[in-house]
Structure 1
Amino acid sequence: MAKTATKKAPARKAAATKATKAPAKKAAAKTTAAKKPAKAAASKTSAKTAAKAVKKPVKAAASSNGILTLRNIADVLSEAHELPKRQANEMLTQVVELIAKSLKKGDKIRLSGLGILQVRKRAARMGRNPQTGEPVKIKASKKIAFRAAKDLKESI
């Protein structure tokens, strides 16, 4: 048990040091590219190939019961962008919190390609109790409405 714990620790350190060294390498590449124009063209082509490598096709999230959860989405994003699953999960959680705060303020949220989320006010009205048939007052309330984007409607 102790041996496996010691083996994992260096891997974490290596990943952390790679992440911290990456911006330094980019900055160094920019300064050398400015000094030597011949190498600038080579670095641009390598940057393009690196960008293509990052843009992997996003596979459908695997869900056993036909329900896509935030955790499934986080798993797919972590694989596509080479992030830790925990970090992808935290990012999605923060997005959900941001959307909830905006809706509480009454803002519209436009997610291009998906649709618009907004809060709609429902006026007080008279309804009927379905068991007894007697009239019942229904209070005014606020509801969250979602209007799907045209592209999404057409694709479905």
Structure 2
Amino acid sequence: MTVDFRATMSRLATGVSVITTCSGSTPIGMTASAVSALSLEPLQLLVCIANHLYTRTAIAEHGRFAVNILGEDSESLARNFAASKPDKFAGVETVDDHGVPVLKDAIAAVVCDVAAALPGGDHTIFVGDVRYCGHRGDGRPLLHFAGGFGAIRAPH
């Protein structure tokens, strides 16, 4: 059933984001697709992070995270932050105006303080109170679908 569930859910196209936070003064990040707007009053979003990942521990301890929404030209960033390697931030430009690293190449970013951490099976659902949000230009998002990356076609 797990294999069927994964295959079925891979047919749901999702935007690709990099979740960033800090562990002490060390930047931490990972690629994620389980991100959603949650509420307009108050402004909140949620991210789902696997319990075995260090990013989950770092978010819980730091209490703040950023959702960096990737553009269609950012597949290399998505793959970089999805890899298991010690310094995912090598060669990646960031801004740290909000207490967590925000990727300069993201088409949009939202910085949140953790409002709640809820159990969700083998994941933790972090509800974040939005502290900052912004976007640049009209960039189109990077999408994840059926195990690969792609982009949307411009509307006619």
Normalised by the length of structure 1, the TM-score is: 0.23
- Which one has a larger percent strand, Structure 1 or Structure 2? 2
- Which one has a larger percent helix, Structure 1 or Structure 2? 1
Higher relative contact order (CA 8 A, sep 6+): 2
For the pair shown, the structure with the greater C-alpha radius of gyration is: 1
